[in-house]
Amino acid sequence: MISAHPLQWPEGWPRIHHPNLRKNGKFHRYGKYLTISDGVDRVLDELKRMGIDKQDAIISTNVRTRLDGFPRSGEPEPTDPGVAVYWQDMLGAHRVMAIDIYTTVADNLAGIAATLESMRAIERHGGSRILERAFTGFTALPAPGAKRTWREILGFTHDEKVTADELQTRYRKKAMDCHPDRPGGSHDAMAELNEAFEQAKREIGA
């Protein structure tokens, strides 16, 4: 279970451990410094433009949360201002983006929002395939010992009805990316995909 508080930093992501290596952000709102609420709104707005509802997102920080589960404004700035945003995309894949380069939580939130906006620009210019590949770098890793379901591996949502034809089509598409002869593919990824495909066929009776 991903926690909104305290900060749950994604496994495998590098960290800035010394405060002197962080920098002041240049994100402002109407000429004033951003509040945490401003940063949260920017992140949620960018996710919304990607078709992600806020109930499918978790903003994890060392700031206590509001009643809706998002970071609260007016709290003391934590020693560790890092921010990690987890979400589930429209295909059911779990994504994460984390930033701790700035000195405040608000600016790290704004940094994530700005990065999401830049990545959306790729899609606006006709690079949907490039965007899909770019986001593979922001895949949230499962908890230690956890195993991804066939729906996660094949990109189906947890409640999506899957037909045999849809399953076959999705498998072939994923196999093009996972095959060890393709850039970014590997034997492990292909083995995981094949196992997921067999599990899916058994479950849906294909």
Identify whether residues 126 and 173 lie together within a single domain: no
Q: What single-letter DSSP state applies at residue 69? A: S
Name the percent of the chain lying above pLDDT 90.
41
Residue 135 scores a pLDDT above 80: no
Identify whether residues 39 and 115 lie together within a single domain: yes
Identify whether residues 133 and 165 lie together within a single domain: no
Identify whether residues 76 and 164 lie together within a single domain: no
pTM above 0.75, yes or no: no
Query: Quick one: 84 exposed, middle or buried, by C-beta within 10 A (0-12, 13-18, 19+)?
Result: buried
If one counts the domains in the chain, the total is: 2
Domain presence at residue 8:
no
- Region 7-32: what's the mean pLDDT? 85
Predicted pLDDT at 140: 56
pLDDT band at residue 136 using 50, 70 and 90 as cut-offs: low
Residue 127 scores a pLDDT above 70: no
Domain presence at residue 54:
yes
Residue 202 scores a pLDDT above 90: no
Rounded-to-integer distance, Cα 96 and Cα 141, Å: 9
Say which residue, 80 or 138, is predicted with more confidence.
Answer: 80
Domain span at residue 114? 19-138
Bridge partners of residue 11, in order along the sequence: none
* Amino acid identity for residue 147 in this structure: K
Helix 36-49 and helix 105-124, axial crossing angle in degrees, nearest 10: 20
Q: Is 36 within 8 Å of 81 (Cβ atoms)? A: no
Say which residue, 173 or 157, is predicted with more confidence.
Answer: 173
Identify whether residues 127 and 25 lie together within a single domain: yes
Number of helices and strands in the chain (H, E) = 6, 5
